[in-house]
Amino acid sequence: MTSTTPLNNRASQRRDRAPLSRADVPGLVWLRCALTITALLVAGSAGLNLHSSHAPVLYHNAKYNLTFSLPASWRGYSVLVQQWEGQTYLPAADKIVVTEHGPLIVLRHPRWKPNDRYQDIPILVFTSSQWQASHQGRFSIGAGGVEYEIGHNPKYVFAISSRFNADDSVKGWKEATGIVERNCPVNAPHLFPNILL
């Protein structure tokens, strides 16, 4: 079947109609927006370097489910795994004994050298029961200082010593302090809320 309406008559009919509104074609506006956003994303990501030198670096330890964010200046950092020791004084024997131990994850700045040291970020890993025992005074770690919680999950508590940055002759100690502070969940409930960094 052929149409008897001349082409120029159809064009005039289209001009006489009111423009389409959102009510006329509800999906049209949203489709247009989606296409515009997609086009902008494609155009914007054409020159995007996904490994930007300004992007933060994430350290993730799957064993302890620990993720720690480092600035781009730490790209190429190294990780040392050491051990912390918890000591208890036994008055009957008049001696100090090691009663607890756990992992100490040291994040080391990429420019650190033995003769040109940068501030390390030493993260102590406690089990929840060790963390509780520490706060009940059953053992202590090192001479002086306090361990502050910087995060936790159902199995582990992550802490840092208040004295980790005590030597201000080491380069980058202020930067390391800021990194630790930015990694502390500000509004997250701590296991011992009265002891904060």
What element of type H or E holds 131? helix 128-135
Q: Torsion over CA of 71, 73, 78 and 82, rounded to 10 degrees?
A: -50
Each residue's pLDDT, cut to its tens digit, for the chain (197 residues) gives 444 434 344 344 434 444 434 444 444 333 343 334 434 344 443 444 445 567 889 999 999 999 999 999 999 999 999 999 988 888 888 888 888 999 999 999 999 999 999 999 999 999 999 999 998 888 888 767 789 999 999 999 999 999 999 988 899 999 999 999 998 875 466 666 544 44
CB 152 within 8 A of CB 65: no
Using alpha carbons only, give the angle 194, 177, 80 rounded to the nearest 5 degrees. 105
* pTM for this predicted structure: 0.68
